[in-house]
Each structure stands twice: as C-alpha cells, then as structure tokens.
Amino acid sequence: MKACKQCNFIIKNDNKCPACGSTELSEKFSGIAIIFDAEKSEVAKYLGKKSPGEYALKIE
Ligand SMILES: [Zn+2]
C-alpha cells in the first residue's frame, strides 16, 4: 500500500492517486483513518477531508 503525499489517500494497486490525481506517493506512512461519512466524522474534520475513504495519518 502507498499513501498520497498530497491528500493522504491510501492507494492499494495504483501508481496514481484516485482522489486528487497526484503521482507523488509514499510507502512510508503510519496510521490509517477510515472515513465512512465525512460530514459526521470527527476524523474527517480533523484531517480536513470531505470524501470517504482510507487516509494515512502520517506520511514520512
Ligand atoms: Zn491524493
């Protein structure tokens, strides 16, 4: 798995972020936040995300 350096989105089988289109991905990340309902999620507010998905908490 890789995480997008731009938006933290976690990518499983791709070399491009499906969320923002960036190709700057990192294999070194820690922590995964899964957002199901961005409008109600405290994690989504904390991370500043508006769409559901899996996000890395920290990218090195
Ligand atoms: Zn992205």
CATH number at residue 24: 2.20.28.90
Tell me, in angstroms, the distance from the centre of ligand 1 to residue 18's CA: 7
State the pLDDT at residue 43.
85
State the pLDDT at residue 47.
86
Tell me, in angstroms, the distance from the centre of ligand 1 to residue 29's CA: 14
Domains in the chain, number? 1
Give the pLDDT of the chain (60 residues) as one tens digit per residue. 999 999 999 999 999 999 999 999 999 999 999 999 999 999 899 889 888 999 999 999
C-alpha dist (Å) from residue 41 to 3, 20, 27, 28, 50: 20, 20, 26, 25, 10
**Longest distance between any two alpha carbons in the chain, whole Å:** 30
Tell me, in angstroms, the distance from the centre of ligand 1 to residue 13's CA: 14
Domain coverage including residue 7: 2-59
Considering only CA atoms, which of 14, 49, 47 is closest in space to residue 31?
47
pTM confidence score: 0.86
Tell me, in angstroms, the distance from the centre of ligand 1 to residue 24's CA: 8
Q: Which residue type occupies 60?
A: E
